[in-house]
Amino acid sequence: MSLETLTNALQHIRLPRSQQDRLNLAVGTAAVLGSAILLPAAYRDYRLFKSYGPGGVPNNLLGWMTVRTLFQPFGREMLSTEVYLRRIDAAEGHGRGDDGYLTLSTEQLESRKNDGRPEVGPHVVPQRQLTQIPDEDVMEVRFPVSRGVFMQKLDSRFTSFGLRNHHLVKFQPSNLERHSDALFLADHLPITDLATTMQGEIAHIHSGSDYSLHVVLAPADCKKVIDAGWGQRHAFSGTSAMTFLSLGTLSDIPSEYLLIYAPRNDAEIEIVMEIISAAVKFMTGREDVR
């Protein structure tokens, strides 16, 4: 390139003439660089959200934006147990004090400790685990003629439990998940304050997803489960987030609302079913669980 050509090219470059021009140039450059960095990260976060499947909020772009912009700031830590000690000491509820309803042995409760907790997704809703997902050989696929769909072993045990205990519980679509059936308090049983808060819902499985569960347990059982590494609270548990975000149309989630990690073998399915049984005893106030 000749000197004359270079000189002519430089003469046609428009340089910032004022402080405002320089500011506009800086903002534009920052926007371009920021987009190059943030857009790929946002896309990965959206793909992760989509991978959870249906659960409470729409599993689409609108649902993701709602969770990230409106819901996320209301999330709280999920592993401390001081709240349950306070409730036990204050004799709140009907959770049988320090005993609770779980009848699991120490060995059963601590069966997950060596593996550590699974990683749980960063989005407050839906709450799903990302690691320690059950292996395929844990899942027993069946083809019931009446339903014509796949049924997993845990689903089958859950359904059998509910039907066997029809004097205490009933099945209906979960108020919180909306895409799966849950165990609810039977219509003829008296409603406690906690059951009213949960609109009667006791437990549901995230079928077709990670096979984790949400259950409502007695304060003492919540502490046992969290300490043993079998579960954690929901990020909204014990907060006023649900009432605020729904403009009063939904009740808040109590501190006793826990995520139970997915079972990975037959022995862990037995543990999960015992946790569900303890939840039914707590919410119904009855011991005659079959």
Per-residue pLDDT tens over the stretch 43-58: 899 999 999 988 888 9
Q: How far apart are CA 154 and CA 141, in angstroms?
A: 10
**What distances in angstroms separate CA 237 from CA 56, 76, 80, one per listed residue?**
15, 8, 12
Q: How many CA atoms lie within 13 A of 289 on its CB side?
A: 23
The pLDDT score that the predictor gives to residue 198 is: 94
Work out the average pLDDT over 142-167: 71
Work out the pLDDT band at 273, boundaries 50, 70, 90. very high
On whether the CB atoms of residues 203 and 182 are closer than 8 A, the answer is yes
pTM for the complete prediction?
0.82
- Residue 12 backbone phi and psi in degrees, to 5: -95, -5
On whether the CB atoms of residues 55 and 177 are closer than 8 A, the answer is yes
Q: How far apart are CA 290 and CA 165, in angstroms?
A: 6
Quickly count: other Cβ atoms within 10 Å of residue 48's Cβ.
15
Work out the average pLDDT over 126-152: 58
The pLDDT score that the predictor gives to residue 41 is: 87
Quickly count: other Cβ atoms within 10 Å of residue 248's Cβ.
9
Q: How far apart are CA 28 and CA 37, in angstroms?
A: 14
